[in-house]
Structure 1
Amino acid sequence: MEYLPMGGSVKMIEESLKLAYGEDSEFIKDKRIAAVQALSGTGACRLFADFQKRFLPDSQIYIPTPTWSNHHNIWRDAQVPQRTFAYYHPESRGLDFAGLMDDIKNAPEGSFFLLHACAHNPTGVDPSEEQWREISQQFKVKNHFPFFDMAYQGFASGDPERDAKAIRIFLEDGHQIGCAQSYAKNMGLYGQRAGCLSILCDDEIQAVDVKSQLQQIARPMYSNPPLHGALIVSTILGDPALKSLWLKEVKGMADRIIGMRKALKESLEKLGSPLSWEHITNQIGMFCYSGMTPEQVDRLTNEFHIYMTRNGRISMAGVTTGNVAYLANAIHERMP
Structure 2
Amino acid sequence: MSPLSDPSAVVNPIAFHDYHPAPADLRAEVLEGLAKPRKRLSPKLFYDAEGSKLFDAICELPEYYPTRTEIAILRESGAEMAKRLGREALLVELGSGSSLKIRVLLEALRPAVYMPVDISSAHLRESAQALAATFPGLQVHAVCADYSAPFALPVEDHEHPRAAFFPGSSIGNFEPVDAEQLLRRVAAILGPDGRLLIGVDLIKERERLERAYNDAAGVTAAFNMNLLHRINRELDGGFDTTRFRHEAFFNAEQSRIEMHLLSTCEQQVEVAGARFAFEEGETIHTECSHKYSIDGFHALARRAGFEPEQVWTDPEQLFSVHCLVSRS
TM-score using structure 2 length = 0.32
Higher strand share: 2
Choose between structure 1 and 2: higher helix proportion.
1
